[in-house]
Structure 1
Amino acid sequence: MGDMRRRAGVALGVAGLMAPLALALGAAPAAAAASCTTQAGPYQKKVEKFLGRPVDGRQSAADCKAVQAFQKKHGITPAAGYAGSVTWGVMDLMNKQKAVGDKPNRDRKCPTNRGRIACVNLTLQISWIQDGSTLKYGPVPVRTGRNGSETRTGAKKITWRNIDHHSSLYDVAMPYAQFFDGGQAFHSAAVSMWNAPGSRGCVNLRPADAKKYWSMLRNGDDVFVYGRKAGT
């Protein structure tokens, strides 16, 4: 009986030592990963306005949950509800994309003398299809190449299409793939179009947009890519 008590005491002692040791090594309870920050960020008011929250510059629990939900949706990490530069950068880009309206080629940088053409503006991360100067589809948000794997600029043509393509290089599905520059293609992607750092060079589209591009474009159609994505 005495031995059992001594063994129980040792076990409790070890358990008592393990808890502070785990904290010292940086381990945290599972619930902590989903916790919200109480600190207001440098873009607090702008983020509050974007999300339709009361604009007071103070972080409330409801503010944090709204910011955190946005971050999780678009793969922004850490998703702690902090109104920092990365979160505001995504929102600011969304605002600029929305401001384009139905005139994505108002700067006339995408050629209007080639008939049917798919245009890609890397700066604004948008794409559209036009015929001459007539807008046929879009603009839609896109996700282009990351730093070191940039989507190449210039005049291109669609050379090969595969509706059910799978990349052997990256072992990922590329539905509705339409290749226009070597291994770079329009294709559907199952991630947010605002998810950083970006693709490996392809122009990612939302599934519905990729399907529409597939129905509207053909081999030999022109593609024009211009601008520069932030961070590349």
Structure 2
Amino acid sequence: MKDGDENAQVRELQARLRQIGYFDRAPTGFYGTMTGGAVKGFQKKRELPQTGSVDETTWQRLLGMTRKPTAAELRPATSNKLDTPDPRCMTGRVMCISKESRTLAWMIDGKVVSSFDVRFGSENTPTREGEFKVEWKAREWTSTIYHTPMPYSMFFSRGQAVHYSADFAARGYNGASHGCVNVRDKAKLAVLFDQVKVGDKVVVHW
């Protein structure tokens, strides 16, 4: 396993590293810089080559120290820890959205005002990455394509929006959006909706 991989084995790796204190967030299944750093820390403690990638020796050593993760460990319902903000999030008013930590941080001038667990689109309907602006908002909206309710929608990229998802609230990470950024805390999102203005920045990054 190495940087850029995204699969069930990576999710298991992250859950096992979390069991022994090397990975401090919910498993995502994506092998990014945080996973690489956790693997390096594990390798250093065991005096293995610090590659940041998982070879057979590293994997077997980890298997010997951990147990098979439960379903709850692989997809925990707990709130996710915020990622380090992308540099583009450090100025102005911005919804800073990390795919790796599955979080949204509402930031003003580099300071986090509030944060949320979020989920994204599937492989077939991915959430676009990059820097955008809030184009328009709708307190009540129903998808014209999928005919599902999208309360507190803040649209940022050709139909993709940050919005409340009852499905995310009910099923957690067992589901996915059609490309939008789903939020499961409706009351908290209602407050954010009133704070965010059309024209505010949106950054979606790994």
TM range (shorter): 0.5 to 0.7
Residue number in structure 2 paired with 1:126:
103
CA distance in 1, matches of 2:86, 2:154: 24
Please state whether the residue corresponding to 1:156 is helix, strand or coil: strand
CA-CA distance at 1:217 after TM superposition: 0.4
Residue 188 (1) aligns with residue 164 (2)? yes
1:134-145 alignment runs, 5 A limit: 134-138=111-115, 140-145=116-121
Q: Paired residues, what number?
A: 141
Pairwise CA RMSD of aligned residues?
2.7
Unaligned ranges ≥5, structure 2: 1-11, 20-67
Structure 1 stretches of 4+ with a deviation exceeding 2 A read 83-88, 104-111, 191-197
TM-score by length of 2: 0.60
Q: How does 1:163-174 map to 2 (within 5 A)?
A: 163-174=139-150
Alpha-carbon contact 1:166-1:172 (below 8 Å) kept: yes
- In the TM superposition, residue 141 of structure 1 has moved relative to its aligned partner by 0.4
Is the 2:120–2:126 Cα contact (8 Å) retained in structure 1? yes
Q: 1:226 to 1:108 in 2, by over 3 A?
A: closer
- CA distance in 1 between counterparts of 2:154 and 2:84 reads 26
State the match for 1:203 in structure 2. Answer: 181
For residues 48-197 of structure 1, what are the structure 2 equivalents within 5 Å? 86-91=71-76, 94=78, 97=80, 100=81, 104=82, 106=84, 108-113=86-91, 115-138=92-115, 140-192=116-168, 194-197=172-175
* Alpha-carbon distance, 1:94 to partner: 4.2
* Identical aligned residues as a percent: 24
- State the structure with more CA Rg: 1
AA of the residue aligned to 1:111: C
Shift of 1:121: 0.4
Give ranges in structure 1 of 5+ residues lacking alignment.
1-41, 50-82, 228-232
Cα deviation digits, residues 17-38 of structure 1 (max 9, x gap): xxxxxxxxxxxxxxxxxxxxxx
- Mapped to 2, the partners of 1:205 and 1:224 lie a distance apart of 16
- Other structure's SS at 1:210 match: helix
Amino acid at match of 2:100: T
The one-letter amino acid paired with 1:90 is R
Q: Secondary structure, in 3 states, of the residue corresponding to 1:165?
A: coil
Distance in 1 of aligned mates of 2:180 and 2:149: 12
Taking a change above 3 Å as real, the CA distance of residues 107 and 186 of structure 1, as seen in their structure-2 partners, is: closer
Which residue is equivalent to 2:197? 218
Shift of 1:137: 1.1
TM-superposition CA deviations, 1:185-225 (whole Å, max 9, x none): 01111123523231000011121232122111011000000
Cα offset for 1:136?
1.1
